[in-house]
Structure 1
Amino acid sequence: MAGSEESAVLEVSSECKPILSSKQDSKDTDIMSNYSASFEGSLGMSPSIESFSTLPDQDLSELTLDTRDLQVKVDNPQKHLDTLETYITFRIHTRTSRAEFEEMEYVVRRRYNDFVWLRQKLVEAFPTHLIPPLPAKHTLLAQLDRYSKEFIVARMALLHRFLVRVTSHPVLSCDPSLKVFLTAKPSEFSIHRKSRQGLLGRVSSSFHSLASVYMIRQSSPEFEQVGEYVGMLGEKLACIDKIGQRIHKERQDHLLELHQLHPIFTLWSASEPELSPAMLAMAGAVERNAQAQQHLLVTYAPNIAQPLKEYLLYIDAVKEALSRRDSVQIEYELTLEELKRKRQEKEQLLSEDQQAQQQGASAGLFGFGGASLWKGSGEARDDKLQKLAEAIPHLVKQAEENQDKMECANENLRADLERWKYEKKRDLKKIFVSLANQQIKYYEECLSAWEDVLPEIKTAAVSTS
């Protein structure tokens, strides 16, 4: 019964008790200013929600020792009951010493869709940068578990990691939308959420879709190599994830078998008085093995499975950034093609104009009256030439601007990929070292359990011989 309550939907109380520092409480008496715009009248908090760990211990220690000028922490999930929906919000605690922030500390509440809005704004504002990924949306099949403790803690940890990556980025951390996300009160944040997509975002989206049907004429070997690398890395991590899931399932089956063995040895000891001490010792060893296996199963998801899945999402984010960079190059190439076409059209008109003049002169020389015919067609050509003379310089300027954009896009993405390469090496090493340490600890516990049984087994063997 206790196990079912542990994984059940978060309980909702009728009280709303926001957690604020004394400094904030004295400055802001509006309690609901710490919650998102749609939260008013629908807030409920689980009284036991503070009792379970919200972030891994190493992340908490990093926050304590953090010396950056913009620090964030995502914690304290709360369940909200609205007329039309039920949803979870997370507390975001921000500390900063940056001059553009009016206060040094902020506490707000945001739901998952607010994080989606923030990431979309970052993509619109910085289409040529690598925007960190968000945890994937729950599927229809998983909706029944969306309020379980495991799901909420996992999502909260990934949202925290997303915000830490954004606020650690030298460019993304300066975005005005991020400041609004971290500091805005409900009414102000609601206005920003409802604002329409900017022109830059619509243009970048249109070229992003164009990239799927237009083949780049002069592809960059550097970024082609990056694309191939992340593709192979994604396949390898996906394979590791599948193997891990299969092993995890086999361990669950093994744990069930261990739970069945314990009562077998216990009952056996009752029917064999001479072997009873050895049987009970073996039952205890089996129980210790089961506990070690249970601990391994519990720690696998947050320490191995979830980070691996997040890196698969990160690889998708890298592919999206490469695609957006390609869209900038496509825009440049299309401008060059249009400029080339206009110049060819101008050359063709000039050539036709020269031929028409020669034909007109020949016709006038022989008295055929061709000058009037040449005059009518010449006026049309002159009109086209004038339009081309106005369009070509504009296209030349646009091509130069697009070339500058492409070079900036290359530099932006190159710097972000270098940063991601360092993070990837560090994070993947951390994942696999954690996996190795868990396995070593598990086998040490199992070995210790069986070593403790050996004296009882030897004693039983001597007494029966």
Structure 2
Amino acid sequence: MADPEEAAVLEVSSECKSTLLKKEDSKDTDIMSNYSTSLEGSVVASPSIESFSTLPDQEMSEFGLDTRDLQVKVDNPQKHLDTLETYITFRITTRTSRAEFDETEYVVRRRYNDFIWLRQKLVEAFPTHLIPPLPGKHTLIAQLDRYSKEFIVARMALLHRFLNRVANHPVLSCNQSMKVFLTAKPSEFLIHRKSRQGFLGRMSTSFHNLAAVYMMRQRTQEFEQVREYVTSLGEKLNSVDRISQRIHKERQDYLSELNQMHPIFTLWSASEPELSPVLLAMAAAIEHNTQAQQHVLVTFTPNIVQRAVQLAQPLKEYLLYIEAVKEALTRRDSVQIEYELTVEELKKKRAEKDLLLAEEQTSGSGGFSLGGASLWKSAGEVRDDKLQKLAQAIPHLVKQVEEHQDKVECANENLRADLDRWQYEKKDELKKLFVSLANQQIKYYEQCLAAWEEVLPDMKVVDTTSSYSPSNKLQLQVPS
């Protein structure tokens, strides 16, 4: 039977169900905030999940001492059993001093699909900004059950990081959908979730699709260099990810061999009394090496959530971030494409007007009559109608060109600022990641070295105290 402490979420007992129903009947807002979810009527899991549901002590203290005007924390996952599905929700605690919030602290529950809704709303509202990525839906961690403790803790850590990146953004954090996500009660939030995509969202989607088939006339060198950079970075991180997976596999094989070697030395010591001290010391050193190797391979620990996966998972997250950068570049391109299409339409209208004016000058006012009606007069009326329509359309197009040009400039500034912020965060986070990895490897080899150094005194004692009688020595017969 599995250890309850190792289970992600235990099944719900009838006592837990009745307790929840009583709390629902009490309609206590503070209590319900801890149990609420985007789908009401589900049953939450056992509180035993608290053993791994909070963030590390360091982040807890940082959350308490944080002086930002908007602080968010994602923790306390709970398993919900609904009639149609089973899903996990996370508690989101928000502390704020902003004037647009009615209270200073909120506690709500959101599931992964709610995070997807929030990101889509941010993309619709700010198509030219870099929207942080979300962890993958089911392929976040290979070969892990999505209800396992490891998967849930890793997803919780990455959702916490996503929400803090949005909260730290000077523009995204002020979005109304973000406020609703952090503060709305279940019934209110469900109404927002069911609301259809707005006109601007549909327009941004259509232009995003247009960018995939239309080639821009003028490529912006600055953003083309960014595109090349993130593509190159993605290839390098993919290579590092593949190598790290091979190293991880080799370490697992090595750990398996160490586990087989330890009992061999222990049994050997029982049959060799004279060598027993050194053999037992060797067995102890192997055991210490095994423990150190296990510590390196342990990628999930309840008390170190921010280190969800030592190397592979942060790399995968940055690969997702690279895709988010590419998406932002594509959305910026769609704004420029919209501008270029409007410019081309304006050029066509002006060329058509110039052509009609040239025809008017060359045709003159004369013509010949047929049946008392002037053929040139009829053609002139058609031309005049076209000129009149062009006179109305051209100023409108000129205004649209100016508006789209302003949008392009704003899009460039927005994306440029977000890319600068991302570059700074990327350098800082990757530096911390690789420094942490280096320190971990140093600690591992120091532990291995210390374990083997403890064996040396026992080996020296055996070497200095051992004596052999002449009868045990190999006698060489030298021919005379």
- What TM-score, normalized to structure 1? 0.92
Contact 1:72 1:95 in 2 (8 A): yes
Equivalent residue number for residue 156 of structure 1 = 156
Equivalent residue number for residue 307 of structure 1 = 314
Partner Cα distance (2:88, 2:68) in 1: 29
The SS at the match of 1:36 is coil
The AA in structure 1 aligned to 2:234 is: G
Contact 1:74 1:91 in 2 (8 A): yes
Partner Cα distance (1:82, 1:142) in 2: 26
Specify which of 442, 445, 454 is matched with residue 443 of structure 1. 445
Residues 1:141 and 1:431: Cα distance change in structure 2 (over 3 Å)? closer
Partner Cα distance (1:423, 1:29) in 2: 36
Query: CA-to-partner distance for each residue in 1:112-153, whole Å, 9 max, x for gaps?
Result: 000000000000000011101100111499686000111000
**Aligned-residue RMSD, C-alpha:** 2.3
Equivalent residue number for residue 272 of structure 1 = 272
Query: CA-to-partner distance for each residue in 1:237-284, whole Å, 9 max, x for gaps?
Result: 111111111101111111111111110101111111111111111111
Query: CA-to-partner distance for each residue in 1:204-234, whole Å, 9 max, x for gaps?
Result: 1100111111111111111111111111111
Contact 1:55 1:153 in 2 (8 A): no
- Shift of residue 28, structure 1, vs aligned partner: 2.5
Count of residues in Structure 1 that have an aligned counterpart in Structure 2: 452
Runs of 5+ in structure 2 lacking a partner?
A: 21-25, 300-306, 468-480
Equivalent residue number for residue 123 of structure 1 = 123
Query: CA-to-partner distance for each residue in 1:35-85, whole Å, 9 max, x for gaps?
Result: 123142x22223321112643454334323311010000000000111111
The AA in structure 2 aligned to 1:88 is: I
The AA in structure 1 aligned to 2:39 is: S
Equivalent residue number for residue 477 of structure 2 = none
Moved more, 248-257 or 376-385: 376-385
Equivalent residue number for residue 337 of structure 1 = 344
Residues 1:33 and 1:151: Cα distance change in structure 2 (over 3 Å)? closer
Equivalent residue number for residue 426 of structure 1 = 428
Specify which of 388, 398, 407 is matched with residue 396 of structure 1. 398
Partner Cα distance (1:31, 1:138) in 2: 29
Partner Cα distance (2:31, 2:52) in 1: 28
Query: CA-to-partner distance for each residue in 1:162-198, whole Å, 9 max, x for gaps?
Result: 0000000000010000000000001000000000001
Contact 1:34 1:185 in 2 (8 A): no
Residues 1:2 and 1:143: Cα distance change in structure 2 (over 3 Å)? closer
Partner Cα distance (2:312, 2:58) in 1: 17
Partner Cα distance (1:390, 1:399) in 2: 15
Contact 2:8 2:152 in 1 (8 A): no
Equivalent residue number for residue 38 of structure 2 = 37
Equivalent residue number for residue 173 of structure 2 = 173
The AA in structure 1 aligned to 2:317 is: E
Contact 1:54 1:153 in 2 (8 A): no
- Shift of residue 349, structure 1, vs aligned partner: 1.4
The SS at the match of 2:219 is coil
Equivalent residue number for residue 387 of structure 1 = 389
- Shift of residue 462, structure 1, vs aligned partner: 2.8
- Shift of residue 385, structure 1, vs aligned partner: 1.1
State percent identity of aligned pairs.
73
The SS at the match of 2:310 is helix
Contact 1:282 1:453 in 2 (8 A): yes
Partner Cα distance (1:328, 1:295) in 2: 50
Contact 1:93 1:106 in 2 (8 A): yes
- Shift of residue 303, structure 1, vs aligned partner: 3.3
Runs of 5+ in structure 1 lacking a partner?
A: 19-24
Equivalent residue number for residue 22 of structure 1 = none
Contact 1:91 1:110 in 2 (8 A): yes
Contact 1:78 1:88 in 2 (8 A): yes
Moved more, 109-118 or 292-301: 292-301
